[in-house]
Amino acid sequence: LYKAPAQNTGKALIAGAVQNWQAYPQVTGLINHSFGKAVEHVVAVDANNKFIAYSNVPPDIPKVKTKSNSKGVLMMNPGVADEASWIVHTIPGFPKALRGYVFPPAEIQKGHLLICLTIKESQIDPIAKTLRIATPLIYHSDIPDTQMNSRPNLKKLV
């Protein structure tokens, strides 16, 4: 998903759909788009979804120094096999974990890229290994210890 500068809407390439960029509804709001659907489990409490959120510019934490420019969310549903996803994006201060969908107003004037991947749970630990190399700042984690213990790289990352 690409959100152009100074616009609330964007263009998206969606798997299984027409292989061209498609007009995309208002990215800065939560309703009527697949990205909003993907992050609905991050911005509101959902007992079935657990996640880590990372960013070099986390929400509401001013002037953080990090070694990484990484921003994203790694999500899983511990109760359902292979229900997981990974979002990588360029939006500082986003998302506000468990506090509602708020697209940072200062970022509307800038262009942004958001990539959402559906993954298998078996891919979580290799992704965590890669993220460990990138050394992101983890600002939220609610993945249970039972899930962490079976994923050594995820446990080390968090």
Q: Rounded to whole angstroms, how far apart are CA atoms 24 and 12?
A: 6
Q: What is the pLDDT of residues 6-58, one digit of tens each?
A: 988 888 887 776 677 777 777 777 766 677 777 888 888 888 899 999 999 99
Per-residue pLDDT reduced to its tens digit, 86-113: 999 999 999 998 888 888 889 999 999 9
- How far apart, in whole angstroms, are the C-alpha atoms of residue 84 and residue 124? 8
* 8 A C-beta contact, residue 91 and residue 117: no
Residue-wise pLDDT tens digits, 109-137: 999 999 999 999 999 999 999 999 999 99
Domain map (residue ranges) of the chain: 2-153
As a dihedral over the C-alpha atoms of residue 70, residue 137, residue 8, residue 106, rounded to 10 degrees, the angle is -120
Query: Residue 31 and residue 27: Cα distance in Å, rounded?
Result: 9
Contacts of 63 (CB under 8 A, 6+ apart): none
Instruction: Reduce the DSSP state of residue 102 to 3 states and report it.
Output: coil
Longest dimension (CA), the chain: 44
**Any idea which residue has 């609905």 for tokens?**
40
- Res 99: pLDDT: 86
